[in-house]
């Protein structure tokens, strides 16, 4: 283990990606970590949190302009908006404001890591070329992931630091209040269905039940992110990061139902956002009956669930570039879901 301490600045530290990244950095033993979020958090040991509004350039300069010892920036912040076009300005602006505040002060800056996703390949728009590769041609904008990378590429010219871009599939891990949390969507949907005495039906489009997909475990992504940020071979490169296995919901869904001790019935396309609109009173009664912790708002990622379950086409990317560059970790997706459900039950998120 290296004895040289590094200082990580993690933007989006309270999200599913950022939370797992902070935990992984701490476990390595040679990192000090500064977590950024709008709400902040308790500081302990090598981790301190800063509450900052990255949408506000002045607040970013005020809170981050004195961080002279930062060596690595890990950017996983995200601002949700209703349309693809509306996502661009805030999400590019937050990254620009962070770099504008930190780069002049952090003279020892070595790397900026950018979290992206398969939207770079147009996965959110419809059937796209699969398996997607990092050198696939761009698609028609708007797309904030692409604009963020373009900004870093231009900003890095002539600089000593490098950048990397991590492109996971749907990221699964433990986090509450996250707008993109598929594992919690499934767990809460199943728990509510079981409470109502109905079988667990796949709610997505018919074609989505049989399409090929892959997931990215949040812990695996954390390992890959730090690897790409600290291996010199990875400077100024993008990498697809996924668990390494493929699945179809038609095969996986019955296994998920068994974890909840539920029967499976044929799929029935429905909008979870619509179906769950009246379920808050039921959830409140479940909280009281089972001693559950989170509010209905904290576990509601229904819009994202509808989005993922609407993919009636293959959503897969080629992960071999990361392996060629030296990252060989993998995760069994079935075991990933079981592990997350175990954690949700342990933390009193679900019965």
For 46-96, write each residue's pLDDT tens digit. 999 999 999 999 999 999 999 999 999 999 999 999 999 999 999 999 999
For the four alpha carbons of 71, 76, 77 and 81, in that order, the dihedral sign comes to: positive
Rounded (10°) CA dihedral 112, 118, 120, 125: -150
One domain, residues 308 and 256:
yes
Question: Would you say residue 1 has pLDDT above 50?
Answer: no
How many Cα neighbours within 13 Å face the side chain of 103?
16
Structural domain boundaries, residue 161: 6-171+216-241
CA-wise closest residue to 336 among 234, 216, 237? 216
- Position 321 in a domain: no
For the four alpha carbons of 238, 243, 246 and 252, in that order, the dihedral sign comes to: negative
Q: 136-185 pLDDT, tens per residue?
A: 999 999 999 999 999 999 999 999 999 999 999 999 998 877 778 899 99
Rounded (10°) CA dihedral 57, 90, 129, 330: 60
Reported residue count of the chain is: 351
CA distances from 278 to 192, 273, 274, 282, 291 (A): 12, 10, 8, 8, 21
Whole-structure pTM value: 0.96
Distance, CA of 262 to CA of 318 (rounded, Å): 34
One domain, residues 87 and 161:
yes
One domain, residues 129 and 90:
yes
CA angle 241, 245, 251 (to 5 degrees): 135
One domain, residues 166 and 48:
yes
One domain, residues 335 and 187:
yes
Q: Check residue 4 and give its pLDDT.
A: 83
The number of domains in the chain is 2
Distance, CA of 133 to CA of 116 (rounded, Å): 14
- Position 337 in a domain: yes
Quickly tell me which residue has 């981790």 as its tokens. 47
């Amino acid at each position: 283990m290296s004895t040289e301490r590094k200082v990580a600045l993690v933007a989006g530290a309270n999200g599913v990606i950022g939370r797992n990244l902070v935990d992984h950095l701490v476990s390595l033993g040679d990192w000090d970590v500064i977590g950024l979020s709008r709400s902040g958090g308790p500081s302990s040991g090598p981790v301190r949190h800063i509450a900052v509004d990255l949408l506000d350039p002045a607040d970013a300069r005020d809170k981050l302009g004195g961080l002279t010892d930062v060596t690595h920036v890990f950017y996983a912040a995200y601002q949700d908006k209703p349309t693809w076009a509306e996502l661009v300005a805030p999400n590019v602006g937050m990254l620009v404001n962070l770099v504008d505040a930190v780069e002049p002060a952090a003279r020892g800056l070595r790397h900026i890591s950018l979290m992206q996703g398969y939207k770079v390949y147009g996965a959110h728009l419809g059937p796209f070329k699969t398996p997607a590769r990092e050198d696939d041609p761009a698609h028609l904008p708007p797309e904030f992931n692409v604009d963020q990378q373009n900004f870093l590429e231009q900003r890095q010219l002539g600089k000593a630091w490098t950048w990397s871009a991590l492109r996971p599939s749907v990221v699964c891990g433990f986090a509450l209040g996250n707008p993109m949390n598929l594992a919690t969507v499934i767990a809460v949907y199943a728990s509510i269905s079981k409470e109502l005495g109905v079988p667990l039906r796949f709610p997505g489009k018919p074609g989505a039940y049989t399409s090929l997909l892959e997931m990215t475990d949040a812990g695996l992504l954390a390992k890959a992110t730090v690897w790409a940020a600290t291996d010199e071979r990875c400077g100024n490169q993008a990498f697809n990061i996924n668990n390494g296995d493929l699945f179809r919901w038609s095969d996986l869904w019955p296994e998920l139902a068994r974890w909840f001790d539920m029967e499976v019935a044929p799929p029935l396309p429905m909008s979870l956002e619509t179906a769950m609109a009246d379920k808050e009173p039921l959830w409140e009664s479940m909280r009281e009956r089972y001693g559950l912790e989170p509010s209905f708002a904290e576990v509601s990622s229904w819009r994202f669930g509808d989005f993922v379950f609407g993919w009636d086409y293959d959503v897969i990317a080629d992960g071999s570039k990361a392996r060629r560059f030296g990252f060989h970790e993998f995760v069994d997706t079935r075991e990933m879901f079981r592990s997350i459900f175990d954690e949700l039950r342990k933390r009193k998120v679900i019965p």
